[in-house]
Each structure stands twice: as C-alpha cells, then as structure tokens.
Structure 1
Amino acid sequence: MTDRQHGVTSGLTSRQVFLMALACALAVSAIYYHQPLLPQIATSFGVSPTRGNLIATVTQLGYALGLLLFVPLADSVQPRKLATMAIAGNAIALLVCAMAPSFRLLIASSFVVGVTAITAQIIIPSASGMASPERRGRTVGMLLGGLSSGVLLARTLSGFVGAHFGWRTMFVSAAAFDLALIAVVARLPRATGLAAIRHRDLMRSLVSLIRTESTLRISIATGFLAFGAFSAFWATLAVLLAQPPYQFGPGTVGAFGLVGLIGLVASPYIGALVDRIHASLVSAAGALTVFLAFVLVSTGATHLSWLLVSTVLLDLGNRAAFVANQARIYSLRPEARNRLNTAFMVSYFLGGAAGAAIGGIGAQRDGWTGLAAVGAMLALLAFAASVVGYCKAYMMAATDEV
C-alpha cells in the first residue's frame, strides 16, 4: 500500500510528518540553549547565579506572550507564512543575545527570543488537524518526539559549545540554525480550512473557550503545575552542579540532556497509550512519576547516580502529562485547535517561568533539598488536578449513559 494509505496520519505522508518533527526540534531549541550556560553567563557579567536565572524566567515569559499574541493567528493565517516571520525575528534576537554588552540587554533580547520561538506550537495543531481521531495521540507523540530532540540538542550542544568556545558562540550558532529552519518550514504542506477571523475576535474567543471547556481548564492547571516542576529542575541544575561537591562545567551539565533520549524513544508509545486509555490517567501517572523524581533529587548532593535516575523520571513524567493534555484538548473543537493550543501552552510556559523562579529560590535557600521540595509540591498539585479531571470525565460519561 502507499505511504498515504499506511502513513502515520491521514492526509500526511511519513516524510511530511518527519519534516514537521524536524521543524519542531529546531524551533524549540532556541528557548533551551541558555540553560547549561547560566553560571557561565552570570560570571561573564559579574552577577549572582540567582540573578542569572532571570534569563530562564524571562525566556519562558516571552514564549508565553508569543503564544498568546501570535499562535491564534494560525487559525486564520497560513501557518507556514506565520512561522517564517517568527523564525526571522528569532534569528535577529539570538544575534542580539550573542553581542549583548550588558546583562540588561541580554535579558531583554532573551525575552524576544522566547516571544519568537513559537514555530513548533504553530505546526503541532495543524498536524493534529490532519490526523484521524484514532491516531491523534500517536501523531502528537511523534511531533513531541521532535520537540524532545530539540531540547536534547539544545542542552547537549550548548554545554559543549559553551565549554569550548564560550556562550556567545552558541547564540551565533543558534541564529544560523534558524536559517535551516526556514528552509524546512518552506517545504511543509499548506493548511486548509482557515477561517477569516480578526485578531481581536481571536483573543476574545480564547476567554470563551476557557470559560466553556472544562477539559481545557483541567489541562491548563495540570500543564502549569507539571511543567513548573520540570522547569524548576532544569533552570536550577547548572547552578547546583557548579557548586561542591561536583563543580561541573557547562559541558558536563549539557551532557545531562542526553537522558532525553529515553523520553524521545518513549514519546510515540506514550501517545499510543493515550489513544487506548483515558488521558487523565496518563496525566496522573506522569505527575506521580515527576513526584518520585523529586524525591530522588533530594539526594542530589551525595548521590549522582540517583540524580541521573531522577532526570530520566522527570523527563518521562513531564512528557506523559504533556502528550495526554495536548491530545485531549485537540479533540474538543477542530475549528479552534490553534486557539485551544494557545490557551494551554500560554499557561504551560507561565508555569515554566514560575517554576524557574521558585526553584531558584528554593535552591538558594536549601540547595538540592529546597529544589526537591518545590518540585514535589508542584507535582502533587498536578496529580490532584489530573484526578479531578478524571472524576469529572467519569461523572459526565455516567450522566450521558443515563
């Protein structure tokens, strides 16, 4: 049979899905290059590690703003055109980061990097709209595998480049990667069925969607909390590993990103699991896995092996919650997938910004134990939100049967 008949999605060839996953990988990398480099950047500007963590926080905040302002437009503007404009802006912002003479300018340009690094969240809803309902979870899982590849590339490559050539070289290289991303986006399929909706009306409809869709509200709460825990860890890891007893440099910290290979392999299987069982159960299991990860993080000062295990668990748990949440919101209103995705992803990265800030405070006050306490608390709250979502869905199904 042909690739279209046997492909992973209806309406897309396997090659097109691969290109979409590649574009997601290159796009999302921009908001993670800085993480292994934070202590090095802070030292170069003579600021404290805690103040250096502001880079992680403002990048996440910028990403959330970019999602809010621009991603809804993909319901009415050709996504390929919108993504190309965002990528061009991202490349310019990365170059400004590379040349920033002051910490304040670096903070400002990092914010713009976040605002313009939104291409993946334009692509994923479009691809989901082309997937058959029974394959949507698997499709989202495959594209999230592309996202994971980007995160893996960003952390590992930036650690290596920072250690050998300095952090500014990494930002110049990232701008060059954006040129490759533009070439990939140009080959993506054109979207169909776009609606003629004014931007102001799109913004108003976001509020309406949140108010009327209880599933979206549950996903927003779960995503905010789970990614908050995840971001607390990664925004703080480089600072803690740079201290005794480890005193690791950016190259070694970046190598921690290699644990993402396990999650990368697992993404399609997680998506397939979402297709078979209720998304809230997968989300709850992911939150519990994140909680277990932070239990192990509390031993980080004395047990490097347990810290590595916790990194794997954290990646798997966050991935499970993310795939489950995105798969279920995409099934709500086909004509509003980009707006649904915007509502979810804005809250998701606001959670990331909050987690980075709170995690930094916890680590400053009590080291590994402080970080573990912050992450575990956020994970338990995410689990509670997932349970509420499952109970609500169960009661609605029982009512429909009656």
Structure 2
Amino acid sequence: MSESLPVPVGLSTRLVAVMAVCCALAVSTIYYQQPLLPQMAASFGLAPTQAGLIATLTQLGYAAGLLLVVPLADCRQPRQLALLSIAANAVALIACAAAPNFTLLCASSFVVGVTAITAQIIIPALSGLATPAERGRVVGTLLSGLSAGLLLSRTIGGWLGAHSDWRAVFILASLMDLVLLVIVARRFPTLTSRSPISYGTLLRSLGLLVRKERVLRCSAMIGFLIFAAYSALWATLAALLVQPPYRFDSATIGMFGLIALLGIVASPRIGGVADRLGASTMVLASTIAVAVSFAFVAAGGQSLGWLMVGMILLDFGNRAALVANQTRLFNLRPEARSRLNTVFMAAYFLGGAGGAALGNYGVHRAGWAGLATVGALLALGATAINALSPREAITTVARLKRP
C-alpha cells in the first residue's frame, strides 16, 4: 500500500521555540530526582549510593517507553499519543510522591521513565516538517529545549529539596505536566498522513531497520556509550559532592546543572555545523571531548575548578554527538523517522542506565578516579566505533524503501 508522507514545508521560528519548551518540560520529569538522591535514600534509611537504583530504573523505563510507545507515532496521530503520555506521566509522578517505601518508589520511577517520552514524539514529527536545509537547525533547537529541561529540573529539584521535602518536588513536576498538556493540546501540529502499519509489524520493523541500516547501528552504539559516560557523572555527582572535602547540600548540587547553559545556547549552532561539516567529523570531535573531560573530572576531588571544566567539556561533547547523530538519522527514511529515533534513543537511554550503574560501581571502588576511568573508557569506545562508521553517511540521501 502506498504511503502519503508529510511534505517538508518549513517551520516558523515561533512554533519551533514553543515545541522546544515542550521538550524541556517533558524530559525534566526524569531528572528532578538526581540532586535529591542522597536525601531520598536517607528518608528510607539507605546509603546515598543505593539511591542510584532510582536513576538507573528511570533511565531503563525511558528506554522501554522509546521501544514500546514512540514507534506508534509512525502510524498513529503523534499529538494524541503525546497527550496520553503526558497524562500518564503526571499520575506516575504523584505515585512517586506518595510512595511509602523504597520498592514502590523504584517501581513508580520506572513508570515515570516509560511515560516521559513526549519530546521523542515531538522531535521526529517536527523534523519531518522541516526542509532538508533547515533540519539540523530545527533538531538543534529542539535539543536545546531538551537540554534546558535537564538544567532546570536539576537546579529546581536541588533548590526545592534543600528547602522542603523531596516529595514536594515530584508534586511540582506533576503540576508542570498539566502545563505541558495544555501547550501540546493547543500548539502541536496535527499530522494527518500516517502509515497504516499494525503495532506488531511496527515493532518487528525496528529489527529490520537495525539490520539494514549500518548508519543506525553505528549511531546507536555511539549514543549508548556517550550517554553512558554522561550519566556516569550525573548519577553519582550528588553522592560525591555530599562527601568531604565539599559537603554540599542538595541546593548547591542542583546549581551544577547551570553549567549546561553554555551548551544549550550553542545547540542550534551545533546543528548548523553538522549540516555543513557532516556527522562523522562532529561525532569524532565530541567523543574526544568527552574522553578528555574525564581527565579533569579525575581531579574533581581536589579542585572544584577542574571539575567544572570537565563538566563543560562533557556537556558539549554529549550535545554535539546527539545533534549530529540525530540529524543524519532523520535523513535516512522519511516514512520511518519515529522508528529510527526509537532505536537510537532507546540505545541512548539504555546507555544512560548502564552508565549510572557503572558510575556507581566506579565511585564505590575508587571515588573520583573510578568515575573518571569508567567515563574515559566509554568515550574511547565511542571514538573507535565512529572510526568504523561509513563515511558516506555524511551525505546520505533519503531512501524511500520500506523496512
């Protein structure tokens, strides 16, 4: 059966900006917790590092949502799918706030991750409406919103945690979901041309895409490793900073999220550079930046200045790799953008879950040095995979065959 695909007509700057705000609000719900993990562990009589399980399960839930929910946007109305996901996320956040024990908190955190995937519905949908010449800029702007969500959630979560109970943070996050619900209902474009694919066929096609698209395989592996390195730091930072010599409270730890501000401003420009220079060059630079960043992180136990330099490099490296990889994936198959994004982002956030676990292991074994070793090895692995990626992927022309 033939498909009718949305014709790229360009997007207004205002609409892209509004949807970037939606991406920020959507993704923030899985990051409010990170500066609060020691406080959450203490409320259940656990050690700070044990709360790392919450971060790991949330990332795993996000990966599950990407695999099981986001592909539906290729055959269902993305706007309706986004609204259902937001409503379910709000309920899951209330369940976290009301959790009477650590086990139920972990279970609720997993569901928060599963339902926090609205940004991953918005990004491929809008990229399909963008012209090829502006696609990198549009993706970069939407990812700026995504990054702003990370920044604001960590900063606000840390500040509120220091001035109230951690449960209040989850209640606030649920209220923010209501704001997101209104914005998406009013502004998210309705896309009427969807592929008539059954859910089972849709899920099976993910494996076919992985098998047929070498660019997808390489990008997914790189995304897995780079975000694992990124998450290794952020999932363990609070546990390290509450210890000597710093002994920071959750509000101070949350302020470290402001370091990402420079990268957020730069994301649209990163997308433009990826359009001009090609993804392979951008990814190479980003993986090297991430590897070098952990040399500075290793010194973070003695120097706050070196830690901040390392975090800035890490943020830029992660951001550049994400923008470059997604831009080239969205040029592969117009009729399967949501599924391509599903495979890539599922690998990306599985990397986040694995990185959180590996980071906790490294910190448990050797503190700052253990964390730095884990992060650097992950980044070097991504550099090696990028070297094996097909160079022709830089200028890949959209292919219209079905998986």
- TM-score after normalising by structure 1: 0.95
Unaligned runs of 5+ residues in structure 2 are 1-7, 398-403
The Cα offsets for residues 171-227 of structure 1, whole Å up to 9 and x where unpaired, read as 000000000000111121111321111110000100000000000001011000000
Deviation at 1:10, TM superposition (A): 3.6
2:326 corresponds to which letter in structure 1?
A: Q
The separation in 1 between residues aligned to 2:37 and 2:392, in whole angstroms, is: 42
The separation in 1 between residues aligned to 2:66 and 2:314, in whole angstroms, is: 24
Aligned length: 389
Deviation at 1:49, TM superposition (A): 1.9
The separation in 1 between residues aligned to 2:15 and 2:328, in whole angstroms, is: 23
Counting only pairs closer than 5 Å after superposition, residues 276-315 of structure 1 correspond to structure 2 as 276-315=276-315
Is the 1:159–1:250 contact (alpha carbons within 8 Å) kept by the matching residues of 2?
yes
1:12 corresponds to which letter in structure 2?
A: L
2:368 corresponds to which letter in structure 1?
A: W
Deviation at 1:110, TM superposition (A): 0.2
Deviation at 1:11, TM superposition (A): 3.4
The separation in 2 between residues aligned to 1:388 and 1:282, in whole angstroms, is: 15
Is the 1:128–1:330 contact (alpha carbons within 8 Å) kept by the matching residues of 2?
yes
2:354 corresponds to which letter in structure 1?
A: A
Is the 2:147–2:260 contact (alpha carbons within 8 Å) kept by the matching residues of 1?
yes
Deviation at 1:394, TM superposition (A): 8.2
The separation in 1 between residues aligned to 2:270 and 2:215, in whole angstroms, is: 20
Counting only pairs closer than 5 Å after superposition, residues 15-54 of structure 1 correspond to structure 2 as 15-54=14-53
The separation in 1 between residues aligned to 2:396 and 2:265, in whole angstroms, is: 34
Change (3 A) 1:175 1:303: same
Deviation at 1:362, TM superposition (A): 0.2
- TM-score after normalising by structure 2: 0.95
Deviation at 1:166, TM superposition (A): 1.6
The separation in 1 between residues aligned to 2:22 and 2:65, in whole angstroms, is: 17
2:277 corresponds to which letter in structure 1?
A: I
The separation in 2 between residues aligned to 1:81 and 1:394, in whole angstroms, is: 34
Change (3 A) 1:148 1:222: same
- Decide which moves more: 226-235 or 131-140: 131-140
Counting only pairs closer than 5 Å after superposition, residues 1-400 of structure 1 correspond to structure 2 as 10-186=9-185, 187-391=187-391, 393=393
Is the 1:230–1:318 contact (alpha carbons within 8 Å) kept by the matching residues of 2?
yes
The Cα offsets for residues 48-107 of structure 1, whole Å up to 9 and x where unpaired, read as 222210000000000000010000000111111000100111000000101111000000
The separation in 2 between residues aligned to 1:304 and 1:170, in whole angstroms, is: 27
- Decide which moves more: 142-151 or 381-390: 381-390
Is the 1:16–1:189 contact (alpha carbons within 8 Å) kept by the matching residues of 2?
no
Identity across the alignment (%): 58
Is the 1:281–1:390 contact (alpha carbons within 8 Å) kept by the matching residues of 2?
no
Unaligned runs of 5+ residues in structure 1 are 1-8, 398-402
The separation in 1 between residues aligned to 2:204 and 2:30, in whole angstroms, is: 28
Is the 1:281–1:386 contact (alpha carbons within 8 Å) kept by the matching residues of 2?
no
The separation in 2 between residues aligned to 1:275 and 1:392, in whole angstroms, is: 14
The separation in 2 between residues aligned to 1:389 and 1:336, in whole angstroms, is: 21
The separation in 2 between residues aligned to 1:74 and 1:48, in whole angstroms, is: 41
The separation in 2 between residues aligned to 1:388 and 1:47, in whole angstroms, is: 44
- How big is the alpha-carbon RMSD for the aligned residues of Structure 1 and Structure 2? 1.4
Is the 2:32–2:169 contact (alpha carbons within 8 Å) kept by the matching residues of 1?
yes
2:249 corresponds to which letter in structure 1?
A: G
